[in-house]
Amino acid sequence: MFYPTTKTLMAMPALQFKKLLKKFKYESISYPTEQNVYNYIKIQSVAGDRARQYAYMWRYVMTKYPSLNYMNTHVGGSSQYRNIISYQINHNKKIEIYKKLRKRMGLVLFYNPSDPYSLQELLQLKIVANEYGFFYTKVNAENHPNEVKRMGIIKLPEIIMIYKHSDGKLSHYPVTIGLRTQVKIKQNILYDYEAFVKHKLNYGNKY
């Protein structure tokens, strides 16, 4: 049984949550029992939701108060909303979208090569990319701190989508934060397409 509950974790102060995240990570790597690994994966999921919630509100505030000169470095959206959009799209439509995206989209994984969860996420990304013919690459966050800052990376591992618009300009959109399954990666790619790309919304860095 995972403890504390998701509701408690979402309401937990940031410093307390950060300490607990580090604790679960240490325990899962040092003592990789089923429970310890489950706890760490579970808290990573909550960490992603917290980060996405913060990013969403950050974007809202900076849009409402343009004098703060926000650069739209990252954008969020609830995982629940992502899932709803994904499930509403039938299989044939999904394949059609993936075929369209692979002509204009690339996936980038920011990771730490010494972190087993980053390596596991790289494996998940490779499988998804090979399945649909997506271009993908990986970036060692420790070796490229400026790129991490420029792309607004919240925590590792993190996958972002780089999309080339019809005018040739590029935008980036967050796909996943933390360790995620192939299913979640594919769901969130569809979410980015339906919520941003399809409607030509220029969230994410514009180059």
CA distance 191 to 189: 5
Same domain, 44 and 88: no
Residue 15 in 3-state DSSP?
Answer: helix
Instruction: Check pLDDT > 50 for residue 205.
Output: no
Same domain, 86 and 176: yes
Domain closes at, from 44, 66, 88: 66
Same domain, 13 and 76: no
Q: What is the pLDDT of residue 88?
A: 58
Q: What share of the chain is helix, strand, coil (3-state, %, to 5)?
A: 55, 15, 30
User: Average model confidence (pLDDT) for the chain?
Assistant: 79
Beta strands 135-140 and 105-111 are: parallel
Taking the alpha carbons of 24, 27, 31, 35 in that order, is the dihedral positive or negative? negative
The answer to whether residue 174 is domain-embedded is yes
The answer to whether residue 134 is domain-embedded is yes
Cα 39 versus chain centre, distance: 19
Same domain, 89 and 169: yes
> If you average pLDDT over residues 79-95, what whole number do you get?
63
Instruction: Check pLDDT > 90 for residue 93.
Output: no
Q: What is the pLDDT of residue 5?
A: 85
Instruction: Check pLDDT > 90 for residue 123.
Output: yes
Q: What is the pLDDT of residue 121?
A: 95
Cα 189 versus chain centre, distance: 10
Tell me 140's DSSP state.
E
Confidence grade of residue 80 (pLDDT, cut at 50, 70, 90):
low
Give how many domains the chain has, as a whole number: 2
Same domain, 43 and 123: no
Of the chain, the percentage scoring pLDDT greater than 90 comes to: 25
Residue 51 in 3-state DSSP?
Answer: helix
Q: Which of 44-58, 81-95, 122-136, 171-185 has the lowest mean pLDDT?
A: 81-95
| Domain that residue 53 falls in | 6-66
The answer to whether residue 144 is domain-embedded is yes
Question: Is the whole-model pTM more than 0.85?
Answer: no
**Residues 19-33: tens digit of each pLDDT:** 998 899 889 989 999
Q: Are 103 and 142 in contact (CB under 8 A)?
A: no
CA distance 87 to 122: 25
Same domain, 80 and 158: yes
Q: Which of 66-75, 87-96, 193-202 has the lowest mean pLDDT?
A: 66-75
Same domain, 97 and 165: yes
Q: What is the pLDDT of residue 72?
A: 37
Q: Are 136 and 129 in contact (CB under 8 A)?
A: yes
Same domain, 38 and 18: yes
Sheet of strand 135-140, all strands in order from the earlier edge strand to the far edge: 135-140, 105-111, 158-164, 170-177
Of residues 166 and 9, more confidence is placed in 9
Q: Are 204 and 172 in contact (CB under 8 A)?
A: yes
Same domain, 119 and 181: yes
The answer to whether residue 178 is domain-embedded is yes
Strand partners, 170: 164
Q: What is the pLDDT of residue 56?
A: 59
CA distance 40 to 42: 5
Same domain, 109 and 129: yes
Same domain, 92 and 168: yes
The answer to whether residue 207 is domain-embedded is no
